[in-house]
Amino acid sequence: MSTGPNPTVKLRGGRPWTPGDSGDGTSADVLVRDGLVAAVGPEATEATADIKLDCGDRVVSPGLVDLHTHRRQPGKEEAETIESGGRAAALGGFTAVLAMPNTTPTIDSAEVVREVLELGRSAPCAVHTSGAITVDRAGERLAPMAEMAALGVSLFTDDGSGVQDDALIRRALEYAGGLGVILAPHCGVTSLSQGTCMHEGLVSSRLGLSGQPAEAEELMVMRDIALSRLTGTPVHFLHLSTARSVDLVRQAKAAGQAITAEAAPHHFTLTDEVCVGYDPLFKVHPPLRTPADVAAVKAGLADGTIDAIATDHAPHTPDSKELPFDQAPPGMLGLEYALALALTRLVDGQSAAPDPDEPERGGIPGAAGPYGGTRPHAAAAGCNT
Ligand SMILES: [Zn+2]
Ligand SMILES: [Zn+2]
């Protein structure tokens, strides 16, 4: 037997899970030979292997890919580095992530793209990067998308804020169409969301916190569906969070438009009720919405309107997330919990609405668990900024 560069590996006792699998939780051994799955079940159990790993009750699956991860490097390495984020990704089962461009400096040129890709080479998972639509994500003039696309960047976004100028986003779509790349808008009308810190509704009124209406997101989803139709350029919507946003995308898809969309784990597991304790951990952007919105996001995932779960993993330093709710930066971790939340809240059919009376955080396994757990680098907020 050899333990050379490509040893035969037996994964014992895990729960194999593949796309399309019903996920019934049956355990089975898996044999990996020459980097490929060679056998699952009794044949794998009986085979010899160079390395044997006991998987306990863990899921054994193809590596997950996150379409939406915030790295803080370059610029805010005290919150997270590409390497530490890679470790969080690997811990959550992700083997590839797409970094958002809201770093310092912004990933809006070939030079910064090269730097991020270089830093990513030593990370424990594959690191790809998106590029900004506009220079410094300021929404004023287009970034040099062609020079970034030439380095392999295929998704462009000003994530953290929406491009407010209708004519500019139209031009960006026309440009993206010519380059064969995708635009991925963070939908939010700034004039409706500026200065707010949570969803506008009964809970924000009760808490005396400024809220942003669901329409801040929906108006831009509506606009970008229209401009995608006008230009014929595909659009990928980041983190849909409201019922009407999901419906708008459903209708656009039914009409044959080249639209895709994603949702973040916190938007199908948590409602704005969890903000009652004023814990900035639950401050995200777009904000946590109502139970009806959570149900709509789940329905969108179930019927394929929403194509992907993407984490919007957005680390901040602990001291920044200990600021008062209205001052803390928005964002939440996700890489380490996305799979577990998807399996328990979607596949196992548990209630989407968290129970605020549970001693644990809003029904989510507590201060030491999903969302609450990794304070060391959770301290912060995300698209999240
Ligand atoms: Zn965003
Ligand atoms: Zn984001």
pLDDT, tens only, 308-340:
999 999 889 888 888 999 999 999 999 999 999
Instruction: Express each pLDDT in 213-272 by its tens digit.
Output: 999 999 999 999 999 999 999 999 999 999 999 999 999 999 999 999 999 999 999 999
In terms of Cα–Cα distance, which of 207, 337, 221, 352 is closest to 286? 221
Q: Give the three-state DSSP class for 313.
A: strand
For the segment 84-96, the average pLDDT, to the nearest whole number, is 93
- The pLDDT, as a whole number, for residue 359 is 31
Q: Are the C-beta atoms of 286 and 188 separated by less than 8 Å?
A: yes
- The pLDDT, as a whole number, for residue 76 is 87
Is this structure's pTM higher than 0.95?
A: no
Q: Which residues surround ligand 2, an ion (CB under 5 A)?
A: 159, 312, 383-384
Instruction: Express each pLDDT in 8-36 by its tens digit.
Output: 999 999 999 876 665 567 889 999 999 89
pLDDT band of residue 349 (cuts 50, 70, 90) is low
Q: C-alpha distances in angstroms, 163 versus 112, 172, 191, 232, 298?
A: 21, 10, 12, 19, 27
> Between vectors from CA 329 to CA 325 and to CA 330, what angle results, nearest 5°?
90
Which pairing describes strands 94-99 and 126-129: parallel, antiparallel, or unpaired? parallel
For the segment 145-165, the average pLDDT, to the nearest whole number, is 98
Which ligand is located closest to the Cα atom of residue 69?
2
- Determine the Cα–Cα distance for residues 172 and 244; give it in Å rounded to an integer: 25
Higher local confidence (pLDDT), 371 or 66: 66
DSSP conformational letter for 259: E
Distance 160 CA to ligand 2 centre (A): 6
* Helices first, then strands: H and E counts in the chain: 13, 16
DSSP secondary structure string for all residues of 91-116: HTTEEEEEE-S-SSS-S-SHHHHHHH
- The pLDDT, as a whole number, for residue 379 is 29
Q: Give the three-state DSSP class for 170.
A: helix
Q: Give the three-state DSSP class for 69.
A: strand
In terms of Cα–Cα distance, which of 302, 292, 189 is closest to 241? 292
Distance 157 CA to ligand 1 centre (A): 9
| Residue 68 clears pLDDT 50, i.e. is over it | yes
Distance 185 CA to ligand 1 centre (A): 8
What rounded mean pLDDT belongs to the chain?
A: 89
- The pLDDT, as a whole number, for residue 380 is 30
Query: Of the ranges 117-121, 159-163, 312-316, 351-355, which one carries the lowest mean pLDDT score?
Result: 351-355
Distance 382 CA to ligand 2 centre (A): 6
- Taking the CA of residue 225 as centre, how many other CA atoms within 13 Å lie in the half-sphere pointing to its CB? 22
Q: Is 312 a catalytic residue?
A: yes
For the segment 144-151, the average pLDDT, to the nearest whole number, is 98
- The pLDDT, as a whole number, for residue 19 is 67
From 57, 247, 312, 326, the catalytic residue: 312
Residues 6+ apart with CB under 8 A from 358: none
In terms of Cα–Cα distance, which of 251, 224, 250 is closest to 237? 224
DSSP secondary structure string for all residues of 315-355: ---HHHHTS-TTTSPP-B--TTTHHHHHIIIIIS---SS--
Q: Are the C-beta atoms of 302 and 344 separated by less than 8 Å?
A: no
Tokens read off for 257: 């438009």
Q: Give the three-state DSSP class for 262.
A: strand
Tokens read off for 185: 């808008």
Distance 355 CA to ligand 1 centre (A): 26
Every domain of the chain and the residues it spans = 9-54, 63-378
Which ligand is located closest to the Cα atom of residue 241?
1
| Residue 360 clears pLDDT 80, i.e. is over it | no
CATH number of 63-378: 3.20.20.140
- The pLDDT, as a whole number, for residue 23 is 59
Residues 6+ apart with CB under 8 A from 332: 266, 281, 282, 284, 312, 313, 314, 371, 378, 381, 382, 384
pLDDT band of residue 365 (cuts 50, 70, 90) is very low
Tokens read off for 52: 């044997």
